[in-house]
Amino acid sequence: MLLEMLKGKIHRARITQCDIDYEGSLEIDIELLEKAGILPYEKILVVNATNGQRLETYAIPGAAGSGTFCLNGAAAHRGSVGDIITIMCFANFTEAEARTFRPRVVVMDEKNQVTAIRLGRETIA
């Protein structure tokens, strides 16, 4: 049996842009994707803390160091610039793997700067 567990998370980022005319996805600064262990084009769950909306889409890499979080296509209807969002990705693990795996969590401030990086609950940066 496989268990679906949190693999990576970017917590409390701010939406910087919305582009209804783009094909779809959420564009995220590539450096932040790497810190969270989220791969380009990986399926993600986005939770909007400002309006309560949730959506599934995929991550596309944005410019390094930009702090970009741009909702594209139909997803742009689920948020506005300045909304606080959390981005999560999940992976399947055996029970033995799940007991020892620790997800990467990147915590953001109001300017989309990293304030902490954790493995599970342990702060590593």
Active site residue 58: yes
Measured in whole angstroms, the distance separating CA 90 from the mean position of its chain's CA atoms is 11
Catalytic residue among 22, 41, 58, 80: 58
Catalytic residue among 25, 41, 66, 80: 25
Strand, coil or helix: 46: strand
| List of E strands, 1-125 | 2-14, 17-19, 25-29, 43-48, 54-62, 69-72, 84-94, 104-108, 114-119, 122-123
Active site amino acids: 25, 58
